Structure 1
């Protein structure tokens, strides 16, 4: 899966087709009509409450697509940025790389599309972390 461009409606449609879930079941679960469901399939983005319901129905974390995008494509934050006490949002100490992210990065290296140095520079992945991933795949 390419995380750079996310079309959530297509992703939902693909999973519905893969799991062979009927439109009646979807409409009953979401408490919406068939036209609404078809509009979701065509939408590039949807409301988070609706996305949460789709995630429950299809037993898949669609929010992870967006998290993966942030890990791969968000610019790195300032290293010595002072933290203010007025920050109410939780602060995370490090990125959590999903298996899909690891596979995506390792595929780029093994296919020769990118070098290790390119990956470190482009995605801000620590050299030691990348080295550990490579060692685990060689075992």
Structure 2
């Protein structure tokens, strides 16, 4: 299981290459780098966004989603600003923070089912609303039961 608190993207890239059995020569041509430079990529804890984007395209795997899941689970939510209108102008796109991927939901429910964390610990540590957690449990319990 991936440790989202300690992301080492270089080793994840190497693992993805090995799983997909992609020739390193092809990767080097795509990235316009040498074999030695590719090996150094595998050793890096973080990569430049442009390199990570190219690797995501080539390997058909969204490495950025790993960081998004970290933000969903561990980044503090922005507090309510009662003194602001909420219509502040920005050029940057706005995204909803509370969109949980299937992988995140599965991870959280597995934490509870395995006994690693209690519901209260999950709610506190990951800042997931109590009602959301209970809805997930009801939904996925029903799905599991219907698949049996």
Q: Mark yes or no: TM-score above 0.5.
A: yes
Q: Deviations for 1:72-127, whole angstroms, at most 9, x for unmatched residues?
A: 11122212363473543333344211111111101110011111111111111111
For the residues of structure 1 that align with 2:96 and 2:56, how far apart are their CA atoms? 27
Specify every segment of 5 or more residues in structure 2 that has no aligned partner in the other structure, as ranges. 143-148
For the residues of structure 2 that align with 1:73 and 1:93, how far apart are their CA atoms? 15
* Residues 72 and 97 in structure 2, CA contact (< 8 A), matched pair in contact too: no
For the residues of structure 2 that align with 1:77 and 1:58, how far apart are their CA atoms? 34
Partner of 2:129: 126
Mapping of residues 96-107 of structure 1, within 5 Å? 96-107=99-110
Task: Say what the alpha-carbon RMSD is for the aligned residues.
Answer: 1.5
Normalization by structure 1: what TM-score? 0.92
Normalization by structure 2: what TM-score? 0.87
For the residues of structure 2 that align with 1:53 and 1:127, how far apart are their CA atoms? 39
For the residues of structure 2 that align with 1:93 and 1:18, how far apart are their CA atoms? 32
SS of corresponding position for 2:45: coil
Partner of 1:117: 120
